[in-house]
Structures are given as C-alpha cells and as structure tokens.
Amino acid sequence: MSLPLPPRPSPGARVIVGLSGGVDSAVAALLLRDAGWDVQGLFMSNWDEADDDAYCTAAQDFQDARAVAAELGIALHRASFAREYRERVFRHFLSEHARGRTPNPDVLCNREIKFGVALDWARRLGASHFATGHYARLGPAPGGVVGLYKARDAAKDQSYFLHAVAPHELAQTLMPLGECEKSEVRERARRAGLPVFDKPDSTGICFIGERPFRAFLARFLAKSAGPIEADDGERLGTHEGLAFYTLGQRGGLQIGGRHGRPERPWYVAAKDAARNTLVVVQDQDHPLLMSRALTAGRWHWLAPARREAFSCFVKVRYRQADQRAVLVPCADGGARIEFAKAQRAVTPGQYAVAYEGERCLGGGVIETLTPASDASAAAA
C-alpha cells in the first residue's frame, strides 16, 4: 500500500517527530524518513512520575517508542515538560472545573506543549520542522499563510483540537497523516514491521490517560455536595459537586426510578452555582438543553480576522457534524455565533470552532448561551 509522501526537504533538513509510542506517530516518522528527511524522534513524558498510577501508560509507551525508533533506525530523545504542562494546561483545567465549567485540555495541550515548548525544543536540536501523527492537513491559504484543513479521513479529523495553534507555528509543522485513512496507516505500519501496528488508540486526558474521571478530579478539587433537582423543582438526589458533572451528561447521577415519573434516563441540563444545585431533565432534547446562539471569548483566527458577520460552519464539540451558523465578530475580540438550528448541550468552557469548507478558520472558548426559546429562558 502506498501512502502520500510528505513534501521533500531541502538537503540535510531535519525534522523532530513527536513519537508517542502509538501507531500514528510511528507511521508519520516512517513517511518522513522515506521522503528523505533527517528524522529524529522525541518522546514527551509530561505527567509527574510521582503521580503515576495504574492508569498511566507512559513507561510502556516509552518502550514502544524506543522499539519504533530502533526499527526505523532513528535517534530517540526523551524530554519532560511536566512543569510546563502543570502551569499552562492542568492549572487551567482545574480552575475551569472549579468554576463548574467543562474545559477541553487537548486544545491547550496542543498549543502550549506539542506546538509550544516541544517545537522550541526541536529548534534547539537544529530541526527546521516538528511533526506529529495528527489527522489534519496543512496547506497554502489566501494571504500567503499556512492554512489548517480537515483530514481526508473525516472520522479521524483532529483539526478541532488544533485550531488554537499559532499560524507561524503551523508553518514549521508537518502532519504527514492528513491525506491518509486510518486503515491505511495501520496496514503501512504492519508491512513496515513496526511493532505498534495493532496497538489500540490512546484515549482520555492529554498526557494523563484514560481513568475514572470523577475519582481523578477529586484528588485535586474538594467535593461540595448539593441537591439534584428536576426542572419542576422536585428534589431527586444529591450530587458530589458541580465540578464533577457536565451539561448533557446521562450517567453517574444515581437517581433511579421515581414515583409519577416516566421510566426514562435523566440528563444534566443546568448548573445553578448560586444554589449549588444540579438541574436535570428526562427529555434529551428538553428546551433547557437547547441553545440557538452562543458567545465565545477572544477568537483565535487562523485566517485573516473578519470584521463583518458571515456564514460558516461551526462545531461546539469534537466529532460533531458541521452546523450551519452565522459568526458575528464582536468589538471585544470575541464572537457571537447564531445557529441555523438549535444546538443540544452547548457547554461553557468547551470550544466553538469555525470552518469554511475544509478550512479551519479558528475558534474561541464558549462563555455564554442564548436559550432556544423564551420558555427555556424563563425556566433557566
């Protein structure tokens, strides 16, 4: 199987590939090596060793990265950016949860760590570029800048998580898997004899891994119990703290069946911080869960900043289908987004990311919501 090769480098050009120990970064390094780049690997361990536990796979991931580097015949460096991760990503992550919001640490992890301190580290090693196994495409864009585009494999596209990376950093970045299907990547790894060809994809919090989330968060944030109420005010139970729940959440409420209530699941619809109350509903499309517009904080533009309202497509969470919307730039540098159709469980702290066709225009943190109807506004 032949995968698209990255652009050929100038003679002697060096690229540092972030080798995570997974199949995607391994094939990224393979493709770059085959295209003629001077490839070296970098394994980042960014969660403190003292906090390691059964859910942290860093030790095994490093061994897998070493095996890949040996198979490819490339040097492998190891660096810890744990201090930077704590200060620039995890502190914000905890702060947002403490406010009852739901942050997305992967966006900051990309901006601050992978395409921040790791890119700087690569430059110090004499590299002209830094490369990753992300599924996204980089290419020319109007105005002579490097544009960020969706991956060919729509099911794996990660442009949502990359929208906050600065354009000048994208210009020093290579993403060889942008034109590849995931199945092609695994097959190429198998044929090349890479030992991670069938390794499962990583999930969970960036650099921390997949683990019981509420128990993990409780290690850093104090629990603050309060009532769980239905939208009509009936008390249904007790929550452990607003920080441990997110809008639209279905599981983990421990409400059970209620006399006079239909046998249907409950969903988190609102967080009343003033009363420390979690409001839940039984209809997954209840008006309290629907928003027709949102405001985002300072908008990070990957395209020339717009001054007038324009039509585009917007995602308010990863893997969401594109939603038609009008983006209205605000005088304070933020944006108002008005949707053609009401959106479910739009969540403050997450990111709204805009697209024109395949190109990612940028994004911003969701701050406030406009209910889908006057009725829902009154209920809220």
Which of the residues 56, 180, 206, 360 is marked catalytic?
Answer: 206
Q: In what order do the strands lie in the sheet with 267-272?
A: 235-239, 226-230, 277-281, 267-272
Q: What residues contact 249, with CB distance under 8 A and at least 6 apart?
A: 267, 268
Give dist(CA 279, CA 144) in Å, integer: 49
C-alpha distances in Å from residue 197, one per residue of 107, 186, 200: 26, 5, 9
Contact yes or no for 302/351 (Cβ under 8 A): no
C-alpha distances in Å from residue 227, one per residue of 221, 323, 380: 19, 34, 16
Alpha-helix residue ranges (DSSP H) falling in 87-141: 91-98, 105-108, 118-124
Which of the residues 109, 180, 312, 360 is marked catalytic?
Answer: 109
Structure tokens at 14: 């060096």
Query: Tokens 């391994």 correspond to what residue?
Result: 26
Query: Tokens 């770059």 correspond to what residue?
Result: 32
Catalytic, 56? Answer: no
Catalytic, 109? Answer: yes
Residues taking part in catalysis: 109, 206
